[in-house]
Structures are given as structure tokens and as C-alpha cells.
Amino acid sequence: MASLETVIRFDDVSFDFIFTKPILDDVSFSVRKWLKITIMWQNGAGKSTIFKLINWVLKPKRGNIHIDKELTIATAFQVMPAEDKDLTISAFFNKYFRDKTIFNIDKKIAEVLDAVNLKAPLDRIVKSFSGGQQARLLLAAALIQNPDILLLDEPTNNLDKDGIYHLEDFIKNYKKTVIVISHDAEFLNSFTDWVLYLDVFTKKVEQYVGNYYNVVDQIKARIERENMKNAQMAKQAQAKIAQAEVFAHKWWKLRLVAKKMRETAEELKEEMVDVRKEDKTIRAFTIPLQEDVKWEIINISSVSVIIDHEPTIKKCEVSLKKWQHLLLSGPNWIGKSTLLESIAEGRSIWGKIAPGIKVGYYRQDFSNLNFENTVYDELKKWAEPNIPEQELRSTAAGFLITWDLMKSRIWDISEWQKWLVAFCGLVLLKPALLILDEPTNHINFRHLPVIAEALDEYKWAMILVSHVDEFVWQIRIDEYLELDNLKD
């Protein structure tokens, strides 16, 4: 097969779950062999739908999808399936390995674990790994299939910097087709050859050649050109209309000229293009503060970290008071999420939170949300008991939570929408201590400045874990705790 041969082609593909709400409308695009493709999207544009259509999990309502039947496809998903969490590493990879005729699969497992920079005994249970390590296992499960087309859905979620750099190198050197959905601009820019842009308003897919930042510039330039062209045409049309009004009251022959001018003005208006719209960003917000808070909010004297797969106690001196923000860092395997969870849930022996402090805890897997609740009931749970209905709905609207979404179960909404609910809940809670575990997962780059500004201005104590440097740089950080650099 030639290197420029098309491996995936969508011809006038349309898809919808509800007939009145199309997700894709007469979409056409192609993907060529060996290219590294990024999918950019607007919120609600159905980025995961593209992957499901490629995998034949979903079928188009109209149009055709052409994929060579001899090509193999594997997807690295965001979240470990519940049924896989109780498997051993050996059983987990045996489940996904395509070629059952190979006797020594352990060698293949070792190779893909090395490719994702993870060491793991074959008898260890999947659920015992951290969120970041499980993300690497999901990637390795896709790699062990050695697919012709590799689909990566938010692969940097839960990965530390070393994991991201390792993944970048792997993608660059992978000699087959890779299609990536990610919100991490720096990561995408490192390997992208081609971009597919999903427009939530037109339901179309636009194709661009170039790296990620180059395509962002192309889109901005296009919008500027369209706005300029429309402004010029609007000015010409208005001039024709004004002149026609003058002629309309003159001699009858001039009235015919006036009629022609009006027709020309209408033609100019029709030639005006629809400027590409951007999706809405969340509204600028402030996280309200709990009242009557004492000066010291939390004191951490020691932490438990994982070294050689065993918990080890390390001493530290952290005291967070009003206006103080702590950045917690360390590699995936060291136990950052476990530490945050123990502090947030009051189980930490060495992390003492002052009495009466309300803790706003953002979990990267959203497991502190009740998935059986409606969005409305979940937000009511986080809010103060007597919150006025109008305040609840207004706060939700700032996070793009519509009344229709309010009636949906948490279980049924997207990861991005769960993020909206989780952050809206933090605002309604009015905490004195914020604990945030990778809060930029599941969101695109347009929202980062809004979130960063709110956290930068937060006036009580905050503990933050984030691998996205461009996000962290926008937030005031007063203290640093590097778990891999602590002394005994």
C-alpha cells in the first residue's frame, strides 16, 4: 500500500442520536496512511462519535464510511472499564492481544509496558495502580494489538510529564496511522501533521494541513478575513440603499435606478459568508469563600509515598493559611491522588484540617459525584440548603449547564459535562480548602484562562496537582511539595 493511500474515508456521513439534533451532517474527509492526525473540537461537537463510527460501534444514519477490511484498529480509551479492574496484568493483556497463537505473550507484554514507561509484575491487580498508571495500561493494551490505525482518546489525562514525553516519542516513531483526541496543545503540537476540526454549529468536519498551532493561526486568519469581507460588503450595501432612497423620490427614471440599487444591495448581503463561530466558553467566575475561617487551614507533617511498589513515610512541613496555594508534584506511581483523597476525606493521619473547614474536592475520575443523581439533584447536594432557585440556575448557566442538561443523570452525560457539574459544585459549596486533582482533564484550551483566573484569585487555601504547565503558570503558587524529592 502506498504511503499516500487513503485508509479512512467518510463520504457525506450523517449521524444523530435524536433526529432533531444532528451531531454530524453530510461530513466528508479522508485520512491517509502514516499520518498523525489531531481531532480539534468545539464542546458538544461529538468528538468521541468519530471514534465510535471508525470502530463500527456506531453506524452512520446516512452516507458511507470506507475502511480497508484488512486494516486493524485499536483504541486507547480514557477510563479503565470496570470489568477489567479486577484482572491481573497478565489476564488484562491476554484479553486484548489479537494473536492467540503466540506462545510467549509475556515477552510482548514486557515490550508494550516498556513502550509506555511502566514496570508492573504480571500478577498485580489492575485496580491497585494509580489513575496515571491505568492510563498507561490502557495505552499499552492498544499497542499490544499492533494496529494499523491507532486511536488515542485523551491519552495525556492522568499522565505525568515523563509519561507525556514518552508518549510523544512513541507517536512520532510509530510507523502507522495515529488519530488523537486531546486538550493538551503542547502535546498535540509535537507530532501533528493534519487536523480535523469538528464544528458544533455546522455539524461539519474541516480539514487543515499543518501542526496544531499553525492550524489555530489558520483558523484565526480565516475568521478575520471573513469578518473583513462581510464588513466591506455591508458597507457597500448600505451605501447602495442610502443612494436608492435619494433616487426613489426623484424623477421616475431615477426610480428605476433606485430599484436596481436595492437589488444590488440584496445581492451583496447574500454574498456575505457565515463567519465560523466558536463555541461558548464558561463565564468568568469566582469561587465564594466560607466565612469565619481561622488563619491556618491545613497542616501536613508527613506523607505516604510509593517506592518500589511499597508505601513509605516521608516527613514534610506544610502549613497552608488563607491566601496560600500549594502545588503538589511527583511521578504517576508515587501516590499523589491517594494522598489528596486521604486528606479530602479526613483519613490522613498527618494531614490535619482545621475544624469546621468545608473542603472542595475535584477528583479526576468524578467518583465523588453520584452517577445515579440528576445534574440538578447533584448540584443541590453541593449547594447550601436554602439556596434560592434562581441563584442555583444562574450559577449553573455560567457553566453552560442548560435546563435540559439539569434533568439528565450524571451517568448519561459526557466527561466534559461532568467537569462542568464538578466545578459548578465547587462554586456552590463555598469551600475554605480547594483540593484539585488534574482539573484541566476533559476540557479544551479555550476554557483554561477562565479557570486559571478563578483559581489564581481564590483567597483561601488550595492544593493543586496538574501536569499542564501553561495552566499552572497562570496561577499564583506559594508553596511546592515534590513527593519524589522528600527526605526520610
Distance, in Å, from the CA atom of 11 to the CA atom of 305, rounded to the nearest integer, reads: 52
At residue 304's C-alpha, the angle toward residues 418 and 301, to 5°, is: 100
Q: Is the pLDDT of residue 375 over 90?
A: yes
Q: Residue 342 — pLDDT band, cuts 50, 70, 90? A: very high
Topology given in CATH for the domain delimited by 296-485: Rossmann fold (3.40.50)
Residue 248 φ/ψ region, left for φ over 0, alpha for ψ in the -120 to 50 degree band, beta for the rest: alpha
Band (327; pLDDT cuts 50, 70, 90): very high
Whole-angstrom distance, CA of residue 60 vs CA of residue 49: 10
Q: In the chain, which residues fall in CATH 3.40.50.300?
A: 6-71+148-215, 296-485
Mean pLDDT of 466-476: 90
Choose between 103 and 12: higher pLDDT.
Answer: 12
> Given this model, what pLDDT does residue 233 score?
66
Mean pLDDT for the stretch of residues 91-105: 81
pLDDT digits (tens, 9 = 90+) for 48-74: 788 899 998 899 999 999 998 889 999
Q: Cite the DSSP H helix spans in 146-211.
A: 161-173, 185-189
Predicted local confidence at residue 180, as pLDDT? 93
For residue 421, with 0-12 CB atoms within 10 Å meaning exposed, 13-18 middle and 19 or more buried, which class applies?
buried
pTM for the predicted model, two decimal places:
0.74
Residue 257: its pLDDT value, please?
59
Cβ–Cβ under 8 Å, residues 279 and 243: no
What's residue 275's pLDDT?
45
Q: Which residue has the higher pLDDT, 270 or 194?
A: 194
How do beta strands 194-198 and 310-321 pair? unpaired
* Percent share of the chain, pLDDT over 70: 86
Residue 245 banded pLDDT, cuts 50, 70, 90: low
Residue range 189-218, pLDDT digits in tens = 899 998 888 877 778 888 888 887 887 787
Residue 295's Cβ-count burial label (10 Å; 0-12, 13-18, 19+) is exposed
Fold of the CATH domain 6-71+148-215: Rossmann fold (3.40.50)
